[in-house]
Amino acid sequence: MVLAGCDGGDSLERVSGPTMGSSFTVQYVRSPGSPGPEEVKGEVETLLAVIDRTFSTYRSDSDIERFNVLPANSCQVMPQPLLRLVQVGEQLAEQSQGAFDLTVGPLLNLWGFGPQAREARVPDAQALASARQRVGYRHLRIQGDRLCKDAAVEVDFNSIAAGYAVDEVVERLQALGVTSYLVEVTGELRAAGRKPDGSHWRVALEVPRDDRQTAQQIISVDGYGVSTSGDYRNYFERDGKRYSHTLDARTGRPVEHALAAVTVLDSSALMADGLSTLLMILGPQEGWDYALQHEIAAFFVMHADKGFATRVTPAFEQMDANE
């Protein structure tokens, strides 16, 4: 949730539109010589369309879906941005001992959260075991400009693609001479500079409720990305039990812990996106230990007896204090 009011009048521009099954918003300070909103919107829409055609698992003509339908022991030439994100996913998977994994596509579909899902359901043990045979980041390898697989795995970039898109939009804005902006793509954010009245861009971190949006804490943002992962929007309930869309690749099942949401701040929106998912998978204690070990700026919100409890890492406190 972005708090964007300011006294800039015509010098503050805003463009938005649909993308990646959701939406994007770009707010920027227009100074003499910088592009107008129509030019910015055209540039951003063109860029996001390319990203969607590369990473979307919801369209059969995307680069990744053409790879996903290939059988085991197949290779396919892929664009460099896609190979780069595979490498980022491998890094996060290695660091989390396999909890984070870009190949959880079959599991997402099985539990009812993926693009090929038929219904939200709790799968039986046989179906779960079968799907897990087609999951594992180690089944992927990069050979030059080709992505290869030795099992029938399916890659899903939803945990990092939006953050990557934010970084790419920021890079395009900077190339156009824009230095003060707030970019949001499907909920992932990155901001830099000041608004016309000299104030920071401000972002509200939500209380993890599924019935309404309520601000938990407001932070000022200048020069980094903001990503929040949580269990409070995409889930289903069966027999009184809640099943989140956040899956632990080590078990093949939705996470079952008290962490309701986690927000990560990072200079890269791509890394903030991936790390917030990783910490959400690991949970309140394992995730906390990981965040401390890697000096991640993270804001944890846990389910408690009477609402929620919060915890912030020293790196988060330092970044928040600096702003």
Provide the pLDDT for residue 214: 56
104, 137 Cβ separation under 8 angstroms: no
Q: What is the mean pLDDT of residues 182-190?
A: 97
Give pTM, 2 decimals. 0.91
One domain for residues 226 and 282? yes
Same domain, residue pair 171 and 300? no
The domain that contains 205 carries what CATH number? Answer: 3.10.520.10
Return d(Cα 278, Cα 272) in angstroms, integer. 10
* Average pLDDT value for residue range 181-198: 96
Q: Is the CB of residue 323 less than 8 Å from the CB of residue 220? A: yes
pLDDT in tens, 6-53: 444 447 999 999 999 899 999 999 998 889 999 999 999 999 999 999
224-242 pLDDT tens trace: 999 999 876 677 788 778 7
Section 67-78 average pLDDT: 97
Instruction: State whether 145 and 162 are in the same domain.
Output: no
Mean pLDDT of the chain: 91
pLDDT number for residue 57: 92
Q: Please give the helix or strand (H or E) that residue 76 lies within, else none.
A: strand 74-77
For the chain, the domain total comes to: 3
Residue 146 pLDDT level (bands cut at 50, 70, 90): very high
AA letter at 181:
Y
Domain range for 171 is 1-57+157-192
Given the structure tokens 């339908």, which residue do they identify?
A: 69
* Distance (Å, whole) CA 238 – CA 260: 19
The total of other beta-carbon atoms located within 10 Å of residue 3's CB is 12
Q: What is the CATH number of the domain that holds 145?
A: 1.10.3980.10
Q: Which residue in 170, 131, 174 sits closest to 268, CA to CA? A: 170
Please tell me whether residues 91 and 114 are part of one structural domain: yes
Mean pLDDT to the nearest integer, 302-310: 86
Looking at the structure, tell me whether residues 185 and 302 fall in a common domain: no
Give the H or E element holding residue 183: strand 181-185
165 shares its domain with 32: yes
Q: Are residues 140 and 253 in the same domain?
A: no
Q: Which residue has the tokens 């579909």?
A: 109
Is the pLDDT reported for residue 207 higher than 70? no
Nearest to 52 by CA among 141, 168, 152: 168
Question: Token pair of 58, please?
Answer: 């919801």
pLDDT tens figures, 258-288: 999 999 999 999 999 999 999 999 999 999 9
Residues 318 and 170 in one domain: no
- 96, 118: one domain: yes
pLDDT in tens, 103-141: 999 999 999 888 876 778 899 999 999 999 999 999 999
Least confident of 102-116, 154-168, 199-213: 199-213
Please compute the mean of the pLDDT values over residues 152-172 and round it to a whole number.
Answer: 97
Q: What is the pLDDT of residue 242?
A: 77
- The answer to whether 157 touches 85, Cβ cutoff 8 Å, is yes
